[in-house]
Structure 1
Amino acid sequence: MSTQTPQTSVAPDGAARRTRPVKLQMAELVIKTANYDRMCAWYEHLLGHGPFFTRLPDPDQPPRPAGMPERAVDVRLAFFEIHDNGHPHHQTLGIFGIDSLAGVQRSGSGLHHFQFGVDGLKELITQYDHMMAAGSVPHRVANHGQATSFYFTDPDGNIIEFSCSNFPTWEKEAAFMASPAFAGNPSGLELDHADFARRYHSGEPRESLLSLEPKGSA
């Protein structure tokens, strides 16, 4: 695992100071949308439960200050629990409903995708089956070498990745990522989602499923 490295920075008074970042955990990811109801329904299916908190903005509240990004008090709001790592380390997904975004084109810099990690290949296929049951079809599946991933898009077109490690330990996964094979092709092997799921459900051995050698559909 990585360690925090002291960094040298220059303070406003011109003095150089060495500082060290604290240990961080990803705690909250918030998506803004004009499709609040559809997005909430989609993520409710994805997670298997509804939000633990919802709120509508008070029409009588003062307007937000000019130039300030939308705050929770300004929007239709839903918070979903993703994972509880023990207080205070919880993982939360937020949906901000902002009607003024309707018709706005998504382009330029910003979030490319985000990932939900699962425990293993069994859970990855179970989540795939769960998403397919609601009509969500992955637009991409890949064995990246160190991990296998299924990629979906939500109703707004955000890319959501479900991924499991291909290795039993972080040390083995990190060793593969330091190898020439990963450096030469970090994207790995593209897979057909239906064929891969069929092979899994038919009982094909894990070693064969996770091989980086291309296989044709049987």
Structure 2
Amino acid sequence: MTALQREDSMTSTRERIVPFKMAHVVFQCTDRQKMVDWYRQLFQAELVFEDQVLTFLAYDDEHHRLAFFNSPHLPGKSIEIAGLHHIAYSYRVIGELLSTYERLKPLGILPVWTINHGPTTSLYYCDPEGNNIELQVDNFPDQSDAAAYFETEAFANNPIGVEFDPDALSAMWRDGASDAELCAIGTCATGESNGPK
């Protein structure tokens, strides 16, 4: 059975009922305070609740977007295990993404990987316990154009994308470059990459 046949068998027999949003992400932490502090800086998040076991953070109208369990007895995360690779958060325009980069840089929070994937321009960060967080912006105003990119020769030849210099991209943004110029694949290119560790 092909992937498309499996997809048809999962979706064609009944009406799809899907979540209307993703509510929150929960971390088990060996050093909860360090994790909470890092995510508060990353998202300019507010402390909603905290006790000896659990912390809730929010950065929008959801009552909590992030939760952290105090689990100092657990072993640290290893990259040599199967599981979640990263969580991605989208910004509306590239100026918001670059402004966030500039705000975080003096705090010592730097991306471990900066890449234009084609459909997105992305900054990957690694939290204090080794979880990867992608901050991204869509490069195409229309989602159908982003989906169509997956059928292009450019994607076939390079499905990962092209790394870029975030300082150079930020300088272009400050100098008034358009969103289209900033989001074009190859802008401030530094070559190809294997991705975040």
Pick the TM interval, shorter chain. Answer: 0.7 to 0.9
Q: Does 1:7 align with 2:23?
A: no
In structure 2, the partner of 1:206 is 179
| Runs of 5+ consecutive residues of structure 1 not aligned to the other structure | 9-17, 57-75
In structure 1, the partner of 2:193 is none
Percent of aligned pairs with the same amino acid: 29
| Runs of 5+ consecutive residues of structure 2 not aligned to the other structure | 1-6, 191-197
In structure 2, the partner of 1:77 is 54
How many Å separate the matches in 2 of 1:35 and 1:126?
28
Deviations 1:157-207 (A, max 9, x none): 211110000111212222223323223322111112222222222223333
Query: Would the aligned equivalents of 2:30 and 2:74 in 1 still touch at CA under 8 Å?
Result: yes
TM-score when normalising by structure 2: 0.80
Q: Call closer, same or farther: CA 1:208–1:7 in 2, change over 3 Å.
A: closer
Q: Call closer, same or farther: CA 1:176–1:84 in 2, change over 3 Å.
A: farther
Deviations 1:112-141 (A, max 9, x none): 111111111010011111211311111111
In structure 2, the partner of 1:196 is 169
Shift in Å at residue 99 of structure 1? Answer: 0.9
**Candidates 93, 98, 107, aligned match of 1:120:** 93
In structure 2, the partner of 1:164 is 137
Indicate the larger mover: 173-182 or 115-124: 173-182
TM-score when normalising by structure 1: 0.73
The Cα RMSD (Å) is 2.6
Deviations 1:15-64 (A, max 9, x none): xxx555521232221111111011111111112132212222xxxxxxxx
Q: Call closer, same or farther: CA 1:128–1:6 in 2, change over 3 Å.
A: same
The number of residues matched between the two structures is 182
Whose helix proportion is higher, 1 or 2? 2
